[in-house]
Structure formats: C-alpha cells, structure tokens
C-alpha cells in the first residue's frame, strides 16, 4: 500500500516536472531560441539553405522534434521539408513493407510434441510519428513479438491441427500481432508459416503408419481383383462345359501359344478326345 502511494507521489512529481519543461519549451526561453535560430538562418542566408532544407524519398517520412517536442502537424514528407538549425532534430522513417524471417522456434504443442516452426512476417510502419515516439525500436520490438506470438499460437494447438490448418493459424497470428503492434504504429500485413519440422522418430512412425494404410488398401484391391477373376473363370468354364467343341478350340489355341513362345520345346499333341475320355471316367468314378 505504502509502495503504491509512494509511486503515486513519484508520478505526480514527474508530471509537475513535465509541466515545467513544457513551460520552458514553449515559453519565453524557447521563443528566444527559435528567434535566434531564425536570425542565424537569415544572416548566413545562401549557405544556411543547405542545412535547412532536407529531402525525404517518396516512401519516407520525417518526424521532427523542436527543442525535444514533437512538431505539430505530424510527420513531414515525402519531398522537401524545412528544419531550423541547432534546435530541430528529425528522424527518417521508412514506410515500405519489410520482411522478417522468423528463425525456427522449438514449440511444445498441446499434445506434447516438440516441433520446430518457422514463419515469415510482412509488416510496415503505419504511423511514423507513433513508431518513433512510442517505442524505442519499433522493428526490433515487432520481431521479438512475432517470435513469441508464433510460439504461443502453436503451443495452444494439437499437432494435427498445426499440420492441417496452417492458413487459419497464420490468419489468427496476423490478427493478434497486428492488434499488439497498433500502439507502435506498425501494421502487420501478412504472416506465413513456412515449415513445420517434426522430430525424426515421429516422422518415422507417421511414415510407417501411412505405409501400413497403403498396404492394407493394396491388399483389398488385390483381393477384389481375384474375386472378379474367379467369377469370370467360372463363367468361362460354364461356357466350355456347355459345348465340347469350345474345349477343343481352347486346347488347340494353347498348343499354338506354347509352340510360339517356347519354340525350343517340342510338343506332342495329345488328341483331346483322350483327355475328355479320362475326364468322363473320373466323373463316373466320383
């Protein structure tokens, strides 16, 4: 309780000091300094122009501080802008989109698998003034936040979701990152999850599972084929059984095939009638 009240008093004193500074910056002393600076510019006229006029590129903005205070009217640029020597300082801010390659992060997923995930984040400065005034290094902060957000987002999900719903996850990441970086004048445009690397053992296990599934499917297909083939054979045998001439023709065809393929083998054709005789004999015995 006492600590809190002390803190409050400290804050109050800081505020009071801030107020005093404000009086100095915008007050009589500041006005005198500004006038002196103008006088300097006018006295050294042709040469002072080289110092006073600055140029920023189309994609840049200049945030100007006059005696330590942000100049009203926001960031200047693109093109030419004016500063007073000695009392103005300015910072250039690049507004172009930057790409940040998030290094691979070791993440423990919700179902306790360690995976290594990396991503790419595309972001740009949205508001130059805020990106200079509110945060010491907006880019560094955004990058660190991207890393932790990646880890947190992945840690909240089971592995199968990470593997199958990358688009959704990167969308969610983009939204949460963008919300967090609003205070720094940064707009996160896009997040892409590049790669999810699994541990080698798990990779092997998953490969074995997939292979087993494929093998099972192959066996089913082979069995179905066999079934169809046997049905076709039965139909064929029925047809042959109906007409003895068909059997004779088939016999001759087989002989033809054998003589063509194995032309070094000598085949002595046995009259089919003999065969049928034996067939009938065996049928009679049965």
Nearest distance from residue 54's CB to ligand NAG, in Å? 19
Buried (b) or exposed (e) across 194-224, using 16+ Cβ within 10 A?
A: eebebeeeeeeeeeeeeeeeeeeeeeeeeee
Residues 6+ positions from 62 with CB-CB distance below 8 Å: 54, 56, 75, 76, 77, 81, 90, 91, 92, 93, 128
> Of the two residues 112 and 263, which places its CB atom closer to ligand NAG in the complex?
263
Nearest distance from residue 268's CB to ligand NAG, in Å? 18
> Of the two residues 127 and 181, which places its CB atom closer to ligand NAG in the complex?
127
Nearest distance from residue 71's CB to ligand NAG, in Å? 12
CA torsion through residues 236, 241, 246, 251, sign:
positive
Binding residue for ligand NAG (CB under 6 A) from 74, 79, 85, 241?
Answer: 74
> Of the two residues 56 and 162, which places its CB atom closer to ligand NAG in the complex?
56
> Of the two residues 217 and 262, which places its CB atom closer to ligand NAG in the complex?
262
Q: Which of residues 109-138 bind ligand NAG (CB under 6 A)?
A: 127, 129-130
Nearest distance from residue 88's CB to ligand NAG, in Å? 19
Number of residues that bind ligand NAG (CB under 6 A): 5
> Of the two residues 91 and 272, which places its CB atom closer to ligand NAG in the complex?
91
φ/ψ bin of 121: left (φ > 0), alpha (ψ from -120 to 50), beta (otherwise): beta
Which alpha helices (H) appear in 44-137, and where do they start and end? 45-52, 128-133
Q: Which of residues 81-100 bind ligand NAG (CB under 6 A)?
A: none
Nearest distance from residue 273's CB to ligand NAG, in Å? 29
Nearest distance from residue 277's CB to ligand NAG, in Å? 33
Q: Pseudo-torsion of CA 13, 18, 20, 21, nearest 10°?
A: 140
Binding residue for ligand NAG (CB under 6 A) from 112, 201, 263, 282?
Answer: 263
∠ CA 72-77-82 to the nearest 5 degrees? Answer: 65
Distance between CA atoms of residues 123 and 174, nearest Å: 10
Q: Are 226 and 219 in contact (CB under 8 A)?
A: no
Distance between CA atoms of residues 271 and 40, nearest Å: 128
SS3 of 115-135 = EEEEEEEEEEECCHHHHHHCC
> Of the two residues 1 and 260, which places its CB atom closer to ligand NAG in the complex?
260
Q: Is residue 56 within the footprint of ligand NAG (CB under 6 A)?
A: no
> Of the two residues 129 and 141, which places its CB atom closer to ligand NAG in the complex?
129
Nearest distance from residue 87's CB to ligand NAG, in Å? 23
- Residue ranges that bind ligand NAG, judged by CB under 6 A: 74, 127, 129-130, 263
């Amino acid at each position: 309780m006492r600590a809190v009240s002390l803190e409050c008093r400290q804050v109050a004193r800081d505020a009071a000091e801030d107020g005093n500074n404000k009086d100095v910056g915008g007050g009589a002393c500041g006005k005198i300094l500004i006038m002196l600076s103008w006088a300097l510019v006018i006295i050294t006229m042709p040469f002072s122009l080289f110092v006073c006029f600055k140029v920023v590129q189309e994609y840049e903005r200049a945030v100007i501080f006059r005696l330590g205070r942000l100049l009203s009217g926001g960031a200047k640029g693109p093109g030419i802008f004016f500063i007073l020597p000695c009392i103005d300082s300015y910072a250039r801010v690049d507004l172009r989109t930057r790409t940040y390659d998030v290094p691979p992060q070791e993440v423990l997923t919700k179902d306790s698998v360690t995976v290594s995930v990396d991503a790419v984040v595309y972001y740009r400065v949205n508001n130059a003034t805020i990106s200079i005034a509110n945060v010491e290094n907006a880019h560094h902060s955004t990058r660190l936040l991207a890393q932790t957000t990646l880890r947190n987002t992945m840690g909240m999900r089971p592995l199968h979701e990470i593997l199958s719903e990358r688009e959704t996850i990167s969308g969610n990441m983009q939204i949460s990152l963008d919300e967090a970086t609003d205070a720094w004048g940064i707009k996160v445009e896009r997040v892409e999850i590049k790669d999810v690397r699994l541990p080698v053992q798990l990779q092997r296990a998953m490969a074995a599972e997939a292979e087993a599934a494929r093998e099972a499917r192959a066996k089913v297909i082979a069995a179905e084929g066999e079934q169809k083939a046997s049905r076709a054979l039965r139909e064929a045998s029925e047809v042959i059984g109906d007409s003895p001439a068909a059997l004779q023709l088939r016999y001759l065809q087989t002989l033809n095939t054998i003589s063509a393929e194995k032309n070094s083998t000598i085949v002595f054709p046995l009259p089919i009638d003999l065969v049928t005789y034996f067939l009938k004999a065996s049928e009679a015995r049965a």
